[in-house]
Structure 1
Amino acid sequence: MMLTVVLAQAQDLKLKVSPEKASMKIGQSLQLEAAVVDASGNKISDREFIFYSRNSRALDVVDTTGFAKAIKHGEHEVIVISPGSPQLRSSILVNVEPAAISKIAFGDVPAKVYTGINIPLTLDVTDEAGFERPEVPITLTTSDETKVAIAPFNKLIVKNAGTVTITASAGGKSENLKLEVIENPIAEIRLKSNMVEGRSGDVFTLTAMAVDKDGNEVKDAPIRYSFTGESFDVSAAPSGLITPEGKFVADEPGLYVLNATCGPAAASVTVQANNRNITRKIDLVGKGSVNNKHTSDLWIWEGIDGKDYAVTGTWGADGTAYFWDVTNPAGIELVDSVKVDARTVNDVKVSEDGKVAVISREGASNRKNGLVIIDVSNPRDAKIISEFSENLTGGVHNVFIYKNHVYALSAGRKYYSINIEDPKNPKIVGEFELDTPGHAIHDVWVHDGIAYSSNWTDGVQLVDVGNGIAGGTPSNPVQFASYAYPSGSNHAAFPYKDEKTGKFYVILGDEEFPYGLDPSGKKPSRAAGFLHVIDFTDLKNPKEVAWFQVPFAGSHNFWIEDNILYAAFYNGGVRVVDISGELLGDLNRQGREIAWIVPEDPDGFVPNAPFTWGAQPHKGHIFYSDWNSGLWSAKLQPVVPENAKIDSSK
């Protein structure tokens, strides 16, 4: 009887939040309130509250106090949870008002504007808080319609010579652009391509020269490029991409006519794109099952005994890291485990000499999260050397080991450089943190003395921690380049240089869960987001040139070796992608995917629900961890030469 009464009382509890709706201005602070009340409206005093913003980079909320600060305009939801029994949940809707428009800026315009050549304008609208406002409508007007007219979508139609003023207006601000229109001297365009035959995904580079009636080059001619095509497959439409610089790539094999125009002058060349034909077979080889908890990241290495080993973490469980012997990829063997005070061991890394592992901790019972340093000189008898939590607040989500230093995230805001030359006595020697509003960090990866940190909205940051390019060291990290893309979902980064082309790329991955995520493990989950290829060859002018996307799946961690990308795509499994040569456009549509494999396990933590976390090639095999099933290995079969003879006796 008493139990029934207690349950009834618990069911009558309600979580009241205040205010239910709020309006704020950028820079303003607000104290959000929560209370648990019973059926009579009396407050229950012994309940805890957790506040978190669904967009902490726009509305920063202290999780334990509910103190909110508005950073960026928009409508933002704050979730409030009282984690007792029963767990109660509510939300507060906060509208952050946009700041007033401060300026309008015209993008680059040709130094000479010729008659008969239309000009697309780029315009940037910025508010007083420093945010770009692309959603604000812009009105364009011209001082003389007979010389320059306005077309939809910020296009100028240039008709006759003379002086014209174009005015852009938005949000009570305006800006003028003065144009001097001159008669078009261009009589002919001479066009050639660096090749006339290639494959889908290969980049054709055009060279175009505009000349006047006397054959003299018009060096500043605004040449526009376009293409038409005919696919070899009658059921597929011709498809491709051509850049303003005259680089063309075909998605579908076929014949393509590449055009260069400048007013009435035009020229074209025809090129052929053949089938890329790089598909290879991939075979499942082995499995190390973990079906009673979620598996997180993995790391594969050669031990000091010459054998091959793996370490995997666990998520939302009991703080266990598993050690495996993977010398025989078909017979993966669990050889040891280490359990620490944590709910999640999100990241695992091993030093270059194979002697020391570092695992991250989140959700420690005493809130002293940090990292744990482990002696793995004998992975069959892994021993904890030391624990380190100094300044590592809020859980360490990711770590990296490079030359006796651990780069460890703290509170999702910064990373510290920690010297582990003496692994028993680690010490902080440096740190890196952005100073942008609402800045956050998810991951850091170090290669050749450069740390690549993935900073969500702020994109990837390239930081010298010993390379020498900017005079940085582990104790004095120096940022020297960065790139951010509009979605603000930069979750992971991996550098890659193509030795033949000399191109230096950084591959950036999104992480998004628009369909929701069920951490309880009761049902399958699905992610979104894709890989962005950023050309960093010119460090001062990085630009996104290509992308790889898997329909209805989202990217997570990835690796590059020998011009091949191995990418974990959550519910899309492992994707193996050819990234050789210059990269441009949609890599998937171009037929650059070599193979894919999805880990389906009927005995998994969630049965038959692949959710692949990371992939790493090692000595001719591909190892990958899956959130719902553990550690797997696969083998990518070699390329079969076109003239190879088939032995019918086998």
Structure 2
Amino acid sequence: MAVTTLRHHAVVLSLSGLFIACSDTSEPQEPPPPEEPAPWDGTYTPLVDPTDWVDRGAYASCAFTPPRGTELDCDDPGLFDLSQCELGSLSTVDSHGIYQIDLRHAAGYADFASIRVPRDGGTGTLDGFALSRQQLTGTFHVSASYNQRGVNRQLVFAGCAVPEPGLVTGCFVRCANGKVGSSGTFEAARMTWGRNEAESSGGIQLVSESAVALGMPADVYVHRQHAYVVSVDRLDGEVPGGLTVFDVSDPSRPVLTAQITLPGDAFWNAAWTKDDALYIASRSSGVFVFDISQPGNPVLVRNVPGGAPIDVHTLFVDGTRLYAVSPGPAPRGETLIFDISAPLNPILLNRFEASDTTSLIPSAHDSFAYQDRLYVNHFSSGYVIFDVKDPMNPVELGTYTFDTENSFATSHAGAVTTVAGKTIAFEGGEYQGAHLRVLDVTDPTNIPLIGRYKLRPQTSIHNMILKGQRLYIAYYHEGLRVLDVSIPPQPRELAYFNTFRESDPGRTDNLLEGAIGVRVPGDGHVYVVDTARGLLIFNEL
């Protein structure tokens, strides 16, 4: 992220060789506040998109020595050549912690992993699997052996150096059924707060925190002084997800009013309202419709579209239309359009797909409606723009795609507005390196990248809400981020709150941990759901 520093220069006024100075020795004066930047005039320099994961070359001067295909037990630190490493620096590594790991295979492609070693010395995890080796005292030797889809796998890490506090580099090997597979180097980032940050900055303050007992919180919608928090199931269904309702008429003291879950249908990922209707996206049942004429006591009315099971992941309401985005089971995912003139009785108007058939994961994920256009995040297919003025005949207008031959990028969420006569989209992906892109989508057939905002390469953003000239981002491990986007090519961080803490009960090694959902309903507060902490309410700047 580019950071602009304001420098105040003293001005000396000279006239006809005379030095003219005005001074006031009575009391020191406060420096004037920095001037507000001039309104954006719509000009910019198009940028080259480096995608989400950028190949920075080998991370360490070490290697796994046995060649590919060798039969052996890979979980042996002695198989790594660490002779060129700065092993003494590993003495600074803590004996516990959560790390997000960027793996660069020797062939030059990306891979990712996560580890967690508990503070109490209990068995840690690697991508959710139990660790078989967890040596983090004066060294960094970590491994896991597990069976995945019928294959016995091993992933082994050997630390080489600590180039800076909180960062470990080294080498790894992946093995399958007792044979050496791919190997390479890694960079592991400890998930403490980045940039030596404090808990918060910019005047944002935590007003209240409310635990959510159902599953893992995923989204929140605020309506009529009630917060509707939806959750997905956790621990392979052992802790089912569902709906948790809080009365937030006093944001400093939310009151739990309802908890709803359904047997066999416990993955509820998104929520939205329209008058007396609450819509919830279900992985199994499409869209649930609840009657919330009594806001604290939702009553299930129906699910739509009915018929065959359908996975609906996200929702967006625009006027009398409900857009429901489904990653499957259609081959490439699809978007459903409902007429919600009668909010409690949505009527399916149409369902459509993007034209892409070649991307690795061409899955519809999220959408944003703006001025008769629907902007759909199609994961590896990119950011796809449709004309939806006629819901019975959506027309694909254009796509922002990624050059991912030797990299990795996704389109996951977005928001759109008009600035200086141009239609501007704020768009972001998910998984390591995912960040905010600013796009000029005025002409959908020619979409340039005009700005970026990115934090650590090992973290990911999730959802975002645009409120006026401020963009609120739920940035997983990086917490809540508030940006001034009045000059779209130069997003400027105004404030943050680090919601992620390694010690929070329920924290896992998952990349998708931390601030996951955000809403700014205009009541003076910002509502965030954190995967472990539940519902957090902040003051709105």
The bucket for the TM-score relative to the shorter chain is 0.5 to 0.7
Aligned to 2:91: none
Determine if the alignment matches structure 1 residue 595 to structure 2 residue 495. Answer: yes
Could you tell me which residue of structure 2 aligns to residue 506 of structure 1? 425
- Note if contact 2:291-2:344 (Cα within 8 Å) is conserved in structure 1: no
Given that 2:220 and 2:528 are in contact with CA atoms closer than 8 Å, whether structure 1 keeps it comes out as yes
Q: Does 1:385 align with 2:301?
A: yes
Instruction: Check whether the contact 2:474–2:481 (CA below 8 A) recurs between aligned residues.
Output: yes
Corresponding residue for residue 537 of structure 2: 633
- Pairwise CA distance, 1:464: 2.3
Distance between the aligned counterparts of 1:292 and 1:358, measured in 2? 18
Match of residue 396 from structure 1: 312
CA distance in 2, matches of 1:371, 1:293: 19
> Where does residue 279 of structure 2 map in the other structure?
358
> How many Å apart are 1:607 and its aligned residue?
8.5
Match of 1:437 in 2: 357
Amino acid at match of 2:253: G
Deviation at 1:632, TM superposition (A): 0.7
Matches within 5 A, 1:210-289: 280-289=202-211
Q: Which residue of 1 aligns with 2:149?
A: 89
Identify which of 503, 507, 510 aligns with 1:606.
507
- Percent identical residues: 23
TM-score by length of 1: 0.47
Change (3 A) 1:475 1:608: same
SS at match of 2:149: strand
Q: Is the 8 A contact 2:438 2:488 kept in 1?
A: no
Paired residues of 1:375 and 1:383 also in contact (CA < 8 A): yes
How far apart are residue 613 of structure 1 and its match?
Answer: 0.5
Alpha-carbon distance, 1:409 to partner: 2.5
Q: Which residue identity does 2:539 align to in structure 1?
A: K
Assess if the C-alpha contact under 8 Å between 1:358 and 1:372 holds in 2.
yes
> Judging changes above 3 Å, is the alpha-carbon distance between structure 1 residues 450 and 537 closer, same or farther for their aligned structure 2 residues?
closer
State the 1:548 CA deviation: 0.7
Aligned to 1:521: none
Per-residue CA deviation, residues 168-209 of structure 1 (Å, 9 max, x unaligned), is xxxxxxxxxxxxxxxxxxxxxxxxxxxxxxxxxxxxxxxxxx
Structure 1 residue 509, shift from structure 2 partner? 0.7
- Which of the pair has the greater relative contact order for Cα pairs under 8 Å at 6+ separation? 2
- Checking the alignment, whether the CA contact within 8 Å between 1:396 and 1:409 is kept in structure 2 is yes
Is the counterpart of residue 311 in structure 1 residue 251 in structure 2?
A: no
Matching residue within 475, 483, 500 for 1:569: 475
Contact 1:292 1:605 in 2 (8 A): no
Partner of 2:418: 497
Question: In structure 2, do the counterparts of structure 1 residues 87 and 345 end up closer, same or farther at CA, with 3 Å as the change threshold?
Answer: farther
Cα distance, 1:537 vs. partner? Answer: 3.0
1:64-103 equivalent positions in 2, closer than 5 A: 89-90=149-150
Which string of whole-angstrom CA distances, capped at 9 and with x for unpartnered residues, describes residues 42-65 of structure 1? xxxxxxxxxxxxxxxxxxxxxxxx
Alpha-carbon offset, residue 398 of structure 1: 1.5
How far did residue 356 of structure 1 move? 0.8
Larger Rg belongs to: 1
Query: Within 1, Cα distance between the matches of 2:307 and 2:353?
Result: 13
Query: Is the counterpart of residue 464 in structure 1 residue 380 in structure 2?
Result: no
Does the CA-based 8 Å contact 2:214-2:231 persist in structure 1? no
Q: CA deviation at 1:550?
A: 1.4
- Is the alpha carbon distance of 1:461 and 1:344 closer, same or farther for their aligned partners in structure 2, counting shifts above 3 Å? same
C-alpha distance after superposition, 1:452-496 (max 9, x if no partner): 110112211222223xxxxxx222222223212334411111102
Once the two structures are TM-superposed, the CA of residue 423 in structure 1 deviates from its matched residue by 5.1
Give the deviation of 1:512 after TM superposition.
1.0
Q: Distance in 1 between matches of 2:488 and 2:478?
A: 26
2:445 matched to which residue of 1? Answer: 540
Q: 1:391 to 1:457 in 2, by over 3 A?
A: farther
Task: State the 1:576 CA deviation.
Answer: 0.6
Q: Answer whether contact 1:291 1:603 (CA < 8 A) is retained.
A: no
Q: Where does residue 372 of structure 1 map in the other structure?
A: 288
Alignment-derived partner of residue 3 in structure 1:
none
Q: Matched residues in 1 for 2:315 and 2:518: separation?
A: 17
Among 435, 445, 449, the residue aligned to 1:530: 435
The alignment yields a C-alpha RMSD, in angstroms, of 3.1
Q: CA deviation at 1:565?
A: 0.8
CA gap 1:573/1:411 in 2 versus in 1, 3 angstroms: closer
Matches of 1:401 and 1:337, distance apart in 2 = 24
Rounded to whole Å, the distance in 2 between the matches of 1:411 and 1:417 is 15
Supply the distance in 2 between the matched residues of 1:489 and 1:482 (Cα, whole angstroms): 13
Output the CA distance in 2 between the equivalents of 1:428 and 1:389.
6
Deviation per CA, 1:589-621: give whole Å up to 9, x if none: xxx211100225755432999611022223221
Shift of 1:502: 2.5
CA 1:392/1:555 → structure 2, altered by over 3 Å: closer, same or farther? farther
Amino acid at match of 1:342: D
Judge conservation of contact 2:484–2:494 (CA < 8 Å) in 1.
yes
Q: Matched residues in 2 for 1:383 and 1:475: separation?
A: 31
**Of 484, 492, 497, which residue of structure 2 is paired with 1:578?**
484
Cα distance between partner residues in 1 of 2:110 and 2:254: 49
Amino acid of the structure 2 residue aligned with 1:508: E
For 2:461 and 2:378, how far apart are their aligned partners in 1?
A: 16
Distance in 2, Cα, partners of 1:490 & 1:482: 11
Taking a change above 3 Å as real, the CA distance of residues 411 and 581 of structure 1, as seen in their structure-2 partners, is: closer
Change (3 A) 1:491 1:582: closer
- One-letter code aligned to 1:491: H
Match of 2:250 in 1: 328
The SS at the match of 1:485 is coil
CA distance in 1, matches of 2:205, 2:515: 16
Maintained 8 Å contact 1:349/1:359? yes
Report deviation, 1:90: 3.0
Contact 1:290 1:629 in 2 (8 A): yes
The verdict on how the C-alpha distance between 1:92 and 1:510 changes in structure 2, with shifts beyond 3 A counting, is farther
Gaps of 5+ in 2: 1-68, 70-108, 112-145, 154-200, 234-238
The aligned counterpart of 2:83 is none
Confirm or deny: 8 A CA contact 1:287 1:630 kept in the other structure.
Answer: yes
- The one-letter amino acid of 1:622's match is V
Aligned residue number for residue 419 of structure 1: 339
